[in-house]
C-alpha cells in the first residue's frame, strides 16, 4: 500500500547542478537561484521553523503550504530573503490544494515576488524547488515533471484530499510550501508532500498546480473543501484473499481508512465497502471518484453503488459530503 505524508522523509538530500539552466535574463544558474531566493521566505509558527514560502505579489502576500499553518492559537512569522523577521496572518486557505495565503502585517513597501506560470510543464521537463531542505537554509533541488496533468492524493494523518501533480525529486521536510519554478523563474507549483512506501520516501514530490495558486492569490478568499471522511484504495491493490471475496472481474475502490463520524461512516459504509460507481459512472480508479468530489461543495449529496464482500448485489447509497476544516 502506498501512503502519502507531508512531514517525514528518510532520504539523502540530492543537490542538482544548475549551470545548464536559463532564465529570461541570463543562461546562468546563479541568476535563477538569486531570482527565487530574493522572493522566498521561511515560515515560523510559534517561533518554530515549519516550512518555506514565497511572495506571490508585491503587496506582501505569501504562499505556503496549508498544513504548515493549519493550527489553532498560533503566531506566524516569516523570515524574508533579507533575513528580516516579520509578523504575518492567514488571509485564505485552500485545503483541497494544500495552499495558504498569508499577509505581512502592516506592510506597505513593494516586495520582490515570483510570477506564476499559466500551466504545468510537460512531462520530463526540468523544474526546481527552493526551500529550507531538512531545515538547511537556501537549498535548491532539481526534479523532473513525472506525469501529464493533475491527480489526487489523500493525506491520511490530516484527512486531506489534495489535487496535485507529481515531480520526480527529493522533497525533504522543511521544503513544504516552497515554490517549484521552471527555467524561466516562473512558479509552476507549490510543494505539498511526497509519496512514501512502508515509511521510506519514494522520491516523488506532490505539487499543488499553478492554477490553484493563482486563484487563491486573486480571490484572497478561503475555498471550502468537501470531504468523504475517508481515504480510498483500488480493489486490485488489496490482498488476493480480499479480492476473491468479490465476483471475478469486479472493479472499484475500497473506503479505507474511515474516520469516525464522517460522511462515509454516517452513510453506513465500512472499511470493506467497495464503491462500484458514482452518479451512474463506473469507478475503476481512485481519481474517478475524487474528481467528482473535487467539483462539489460541502453539503452536496453524491449517489454511489456499493458492494459488500461475499455478496453479489450492490446497493444504492447517498453520501452527504462534509466540510474539511
Give the containing element (helix H, strand E) for 204: strand 200-208
Do 207 and 251 belong together in one domain?
A: no
Q: Which of 323, 321, 305, 325 is nearest to 313 (CA)?
A: 305
Do 145 and 280 belong together in one domain?
A: no
The mean pLDDT of 103-112, rounded to a whole number, is: 85
Tell which wins on pLDDT, 29 or 226: 226
Cβ–Cβ < 8 Å for 56, 94: no
Q: Which pLDDT does position 28 carry in this prediction?
A: 60
pTM (whole model) above 0.85:
yes
Do 236 and 206 belong together in one domain?
A: no
pLDDT band at 8 (very low <50, low <70, confident <90, very high): very low
Rounded CA-CA distance 320/269 in Å is 13
Rounded CA-CA distance 316/250 in Å is 17
What CATH number is given to the structural domain containing 21?
2.40.10.10
- pLDDT exceeds 90 at position 217: yes
- Dihedral (Cα; 72, 74, 77, 78), 10-degree rounding: -30
Residue 283 maps to a domain: yes
Do 20 and 121 belong together in one domain?
A: yes
Residue 313 corresponds to which cell in the numbers above? 448485489
Question: Percent of the chain, pLDDT > 90?
Answer: 81
Lowest mean pLDDT among 39-53, 107-121, 175-189, 235-249: 107-121
Counted domains in the chain: 2
Residue 141's domain spans which residues?
A: 2-25+115-211
Do 19 and 158 belong together in one domain?
A: yes
Residue 17 maps to a domain: yes
The string of pLDDT tens digits covering residues 170-213 is 889 999 999 999 999 999 999 999 998 777 778 999 999 999 99
How many other C-beta atoms can be found within 10 angstroms of the C-beta atom of residue 183?
Answer: 19
- DSSP β-ladder status, 99-104 and 61-65: antiparallel
Amino acid at each position: 500500500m502506498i501512503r502519502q505524508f507531508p512531514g517525514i522523509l528518510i532520504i539523502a538530500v540530492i543537490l542538482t547542478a544548475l549551470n545548464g539552466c536559463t532564465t529570461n535574463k541570463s543562461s546562468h544558474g546563479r541568476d535563477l537561484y538569486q531570482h527565487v531566493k530574493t522572493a522566498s521566505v521561511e515560515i515560523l509558527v510559534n517561533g518554530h521553523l515549519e516550512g518555506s514560502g514565497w511572495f506571490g505579489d508585491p503587496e506582501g502576500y505569501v504562499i505556503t503550504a496549508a498544513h504548515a499553518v493549519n493550527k489553532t492559537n498560533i503566531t506566524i512569522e516569516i523570515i524574508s530573503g533579507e533575513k528580516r523577521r516579520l509578523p504575518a496572518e492567514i488571509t485564505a486557505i485552500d485545503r483541497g490544494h494544500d495552499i495558504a495565503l498569508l499577509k505581512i502585517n502592516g506592510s506597505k513597501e513593494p516586495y520582490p515576488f515570483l510570477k506564476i506560470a499559466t500551466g504545468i510543464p510537460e512531462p520530463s521537463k526540468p523544474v526546481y524547488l527552493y526551500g529550507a531542505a531538512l531545515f538547511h537554509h537556501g537549498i535548491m533541488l532539481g526534479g523532473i515533471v513525472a506525469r501529464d496533468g493533475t491527480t489526487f492524493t489523500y493525506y491520511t494523518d490530516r484527512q486531506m484530499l489534495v489535487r496535485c501533480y507529481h515531480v520526480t525529486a527529493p522533497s525533504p521536510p522543511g521544503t513544504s510550501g516552497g515554490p517549484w519554478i521552471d527555467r524561466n523563474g516562473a512558479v509552476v507549483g507549490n510543494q505539498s508532500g511526497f509519496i512514501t512506501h512502508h515509511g521510506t520516501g519514494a522520491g516523488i514530490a506532490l505539487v499543488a498546480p499553478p492554477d490553484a495558486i493563482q486563484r487563491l492569490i486573486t480571490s484572497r478568499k478561503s475555498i471550502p473543501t468537501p470531504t468523504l471522511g475517508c481515504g480510498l484504495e483500488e480493489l486490485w491493490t488489496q490482498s488476493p484473499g480480499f479480492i476473491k471475496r468479490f465476483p471475478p472481474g469486479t472493479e472499484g475502490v475500497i473506503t479505507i481508512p474511515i474516520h469516525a463520524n464522517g460522511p462515509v461512516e454516517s452513510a453506513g459504509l465500512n472499511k470493506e465497502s467497495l464503491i462500484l460507481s458514482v452518479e451512474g459512472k463506473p469507478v475503476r480508479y481512485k481519481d474517478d471518484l475524487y474528481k467528482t468530489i473535487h467539483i462539489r461543495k460541502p453539503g452536496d449529496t453524491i449517489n454511489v453503488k456499493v458492494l459488500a464482500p461475499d455478496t453479489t448485489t450492490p446497493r444504492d447509497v447517498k453520501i452527504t459530503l462534509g466540510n474539511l476544516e
